[in-house]
Amino acid sequence: MSIQARNITHIYSEGLPHESVALFDISFEIDDGEFVGIIGHTGSGKSTLLQHLNGLLKPKSGQIVVGGVDITAGKVSMIDIRRRTGLVFQYPEYQLFEESVAKDVAFGPQNLGLPPEEIESRVEEALQLVGLDYNEFKDKSPFDLSGGEKRKVAIAGVIAMKPEVLILDEPTAGLDPKAHRDILSMIENIHDHEKNITILVTHKMDDVARLADKILVMEDGRLVMNGTPEEIFSQKEALSGMGLSIPEPTELIIDCRECGMDLPADVLTIDQAEEALVAVLAK
C-alpha cells in the first residue's frame, strides 16, 4: 500500500470572480506503514489536500494513486476509495447521531454489507483500540459522554471500517491537555496495531515531531518542504518565516547550545532533551 500524488492543482470557484487556486503542482509519495505529519499555517491548503486523498475533491490537474488505483480517474468507485481511506474531520463528535455508542460505531461496517457477527466484532475491536471498554460503553448514549470520549467514539467509527489509510485533521483541536494526550496515545496505538498509513494534520509541533516518520510542510497552497522530522525542524528560520515554530524541546536545546553546552543538534522530544541534558550535566 502506498500513495503517490503527482502534480496536483486545485482551483475553487474556477471561472468566477472569486476564483482561488488552493493547491499548486503538489507532488509527494507516502510508503506503506508510514506515519506522516502535515503542517502549515491556517489557509496553507492542508485540509484541501486531505480531501483529495479520499476523493471528496477532484483536482483540476494531476493524479493521485492509492494502493495502485488512480482515484482521480473518471470511472473509479468512490465507495471503494472511502472503504480504503478513512478521513476524520475536525470535531468529528459533531457527526455522532445514533442512540448508543455501539450503533454509532457500527454504522460504517453496516454500510459495507458485513454480517452481524463481523460488525459486532469490529465494533468491539475499534472501541478497545480507542481506549473505551466495550461492555462499559456499548449501550451508553454518545451524547452523555465527555468531549474526549465522544471524539474517541467518532474515531472508532472510522477505525471499524478498517481503512488502509487513516487521515486525521486536527484530531486534538479544542481538547484539554489530558484529553489531548489521550487522543495522541490512542492514534499512536492504532497505528502500531493496524500498520496502516496514518496522516496527521496538526498545529502542535511537539506532536508531529514525536510521532511522524515524514513531514510535509504547506505554504500558500504549495508543498515547500518534505523530509524527516530531523530535516524539517533543523530549518528554524525558514519555518519561522512561514509562521511556524519548532518543538519546544528543540528550542530549549538550541538555547542551551548557544550558551556553550555541548548538546546534539537533532533533539526533538522531551525524552531526548532530558537524556541529552543529563548526559552533559553528569560529565
Please check the confidence at residue 283 and state whether its pLDDT lies above 80. no
43's CB contacts (< 8 A; 6+ apart) are: 220
Which H/E stretch holds residue 166? strand 165-169
DSSP string, 107-139: HHHHHTT--HHHHHHHHHHHHHHTT--HHHHTT
Q: Is residue 225 part of a domain?
A: yes
Query: What are the helix (H) ranges across the chain?
Result: 46-53, 78-84, 101-111, 116-129, 134-137, 147-159, 177-194, 205-211, 229-233, 236-241, 248-258, 270-281
In a domain, 278, yes or no: no
Q: Answer yes or no: is 257 within a domain.
A: no
pLDDT digits (tens, 9 = 90+) for 71-116: 998 788 877 787 889 999 888 888 899 999 999 999 999 988 899 9
The CATH code of the domain that includes 29 is: 3.40.50.300
Per-residue model confidence (pLDDT) at position 74: 78
181 part of a folded domain: yes
Q: For residue 258, is it within any domain?
A: no
pLDDT digits (tens, 9 = 90+) for 5-50: 999 999 999 889 999 999 999 999 999 999 999 999 999 999 999 9
37, three cell numbers: 505529519
- Count of the separate structural domains present in the chain: 1
Query: How buried is residue 246: exposed, middle or buried, by Cβ count under 10 Å (0-12/13-18/19+)?
Result: buried
Distance CA 147, CA 149 (A): 5
Model pTM score = 0.92
Query: What's the Rg (C-alpha) of the chain?
Result: 20
**Inside any domain, residue 280:** no
Cell numbers for 5: 500524488
Q: Cell numbers of 123, please?
A: 465494533
Are β-strands 3-12 and 61-66 bridged in parallel, bridged antiparallel, or unpaired? antiparallel
Cα separation of 188 and 3, whole Å? 20
User: Containing domain of residue 130, as a range?
Assistant: 3-246
Per-residue pLDDT at 232 exceeds 90: yes
- Is residue 259 domain-resident? no
Residue 235 lies in a domain: yes
